[in-house]
Structure 1
Amino acid sequence: MNKYTQQIAIGAYHTNQHAQASVTSLFNVMLEAAWAHAQVMEWGYEDLKSNNMFWVLSRVYFEIEKYPEWQDQITLNTWSSGTDGMYAYREFILENEQQEVLLRASTAWLILNLENRRIFRLRDLRNSFPRLEVPNVCRNPKRVKPHARSGELSFQPVLFSDLDVNKHFNSVKYLERVLDGFGIDFLNTFELAQLEVNYLKEGLAGDKLAVDTVPVSDSSYSSTIVRESDGLELCSLLTHWRQRQQ
């Protein structure tokens, strides 16, 4: 299977107050392209639903070279990068009109049974998920170990707008909560350069979640999202920042 390509115009609804596409809007665009390509490959939402299964995003790694700006025309390419028997890997490259790479990403996906949440093994389906060799792509995402709790947590409920079509806390909403926790002054001073995410448990309606963030270095932070009812970590993230260019 070849690359799946989308041409995208950056609208005002994609951007932040700096007229740059936000990392969460780029994440959403990438996920939509992944769903669309899976449909072409006959492994889409409806294909799996008919067999009582569904896709879940398990791991993500981004390298962001440059953020596109309002009214920019960008090209998003995504493709299957094989399976190790459990994870199905998918890669992304985002380019501007000058064919400069803006963003590289690699993702790892699981197929789960809708009823018992067991992982559907992909060992015998390697031909369905061929690895397309493409240069200049980043590494595969790795395991991100949650850090020790830093102290008292502030729990906020899962809202209606947080839920996706699978009735789960949406994968981009995890990132949104973590980024908002850094505060406006920090986000006006720094921009995200690298991101790594592990999704560990499902967040559901009725849950209350808290973000716990601790520094790893001067420019890196470890974050976890914790559920109040059982104290479990639902998501673990590493963020690496650079000075925002004015």
Structure 2
Amino acid sequence: MRLPEDFQFEKSAEVGSFQVHPNGKIRLSSLADFLQEIAWKHADSADFGRNLMESKQMWALSRLEIQVSAWPSWGDQIQLFTGGRGAEKLFAFREFMVWEASQRVLARAMSSWLLLNMETKRIQRPESVLPGQLFDPKLAPTWQPEKLTCSGSEIHQLKLQVRYSDLDLYHHVNNTSYIRWVEDLLAEKQIFPDFISINYLAECHLGDELELVLYKNDSGFVVDGKVGAKQVFIAKVSGGTFH
């Protein structure tokens, strides 16, 4: 069956009680969990996922943008779609779409990935492992996650330590853990955005002490995450409810 908008893989899911805010709507980090899972399912189904570990290769998420149009609630059935959207230079792009049962679009997302050697951490060309029918290196998407910079007035700070539950298969902080940290920091100020753009800049490990700084500017808010002097991520959020 042909999938909508030339997506290449789909997965059904139900929003669980453990994935929602107290208001019953899905957390942004839980939505990101769904996106991460379908990305792995698709990659595994076409032999460019976990099997790459055998050749000491790994995918690293570099940038991600999520735009939510409507928030699904606890118990809602959702349909997730994903597909390769080409490559440019050293980045491979993957797009996502989330439907509700009536096929109304709830969210869209675009991501850019780097292929790394697990031992040397050197970046490799993505087309060396990607099937051409899924990731055409000549077809870069018109929508690409942007490179972010800090700007605005500082309004809040938070210090935290990387815990075991933050880690992924590679013993690095899972990309969705960063989104959860951002979400929790914003919630302390009663900020619940429907758009996030995040750049993953450096690895973060168990026991690392992070300082998160929240800035406000004309377009929304920026969160800067550092370990000492090293910037490990930066996120921009907008929309939603700001108090």
TM over 0.5: yes
Residue 168 (structure 2) aligns with = 164
TM-score by length of 1: 0.86
CA distance in 2, matches of 1:147, 1:43: 38
CA distance in 2, matches of 1:56, 1:212: 24
The AA in structure 1 aligned to 2:64 is V
Residue 208 (structure 2) aligns with = 207
Q: Deviations over 1:183-207 (max 9, x none)?
A: 34614xxx32211010000001231
Residue 52 (structure 2) aligns with = 48
Q: Deviations over 1:82-127 (max 9, x none)?
A: 1113111100000111111000000001111111111011355672
Residue 185 and residue 201 in structure 1: after superposition, are their counterparts in 2 closer, same or farther (change >3 A)? closer
RMSD: 2.5
- Following superposition, the deviation at residue 210 of structure 1 comes to 1.1
Q: Could you tell me whether the CA contact under 8 Å between 1:83 and 1:129 is conserved in 2?
A: no
- Following superposition, the deviation at residue 15 of structure 1 comes to 1.0
Residue 124 and residue 164 in structure 1: after superposition, are their counterparts in 2 closer, same or farther (change >3 A)? closer
Residue 195 (structure 1) aligns with = 196
Alignment of 1:103-142 (within 5 A): 103-122=107-126, 127=132, 129-131=134-136, 139-142=143-146
TM-score by length of 2: 0.87
Q: Deviations over 1:171-230 (max 9, x none)?
A: 11111112211234614xxx322110100000012311111110012x6101111002xx
The AA in structure 1 aligned to 2:35 is M
Alignment of 1:1-246 (within 5 A): 3-45=8-50, 47-122=51-126, 127=132, 129-131=134-136, 139-147=143-151, 150=154, 154-184=158-188, 186-187=190-191, 191-217=192-218, 220-228=220-228, 231-243=229-241
Q: Could you tell me whether the CA contact under 8 Å between 1:147 and 1:224 is conserved in 2?
A: no
The AA in structure 2 aligned to 1:225 is G
Residue 134 (structure 1) aligns with = none
For residue 223 of structure 1, give the secondary structure of its aligned residue in structure 2: strand
The AA in structure 1 aligned to 2:224 is T
- Following superposition, the deviation at residue 128 of structure 1 comes to 5.9
CA distance in 2, matches of 1:198, 1:161: 21
CA distance in 2, matches of 1:124, 1:243: 43
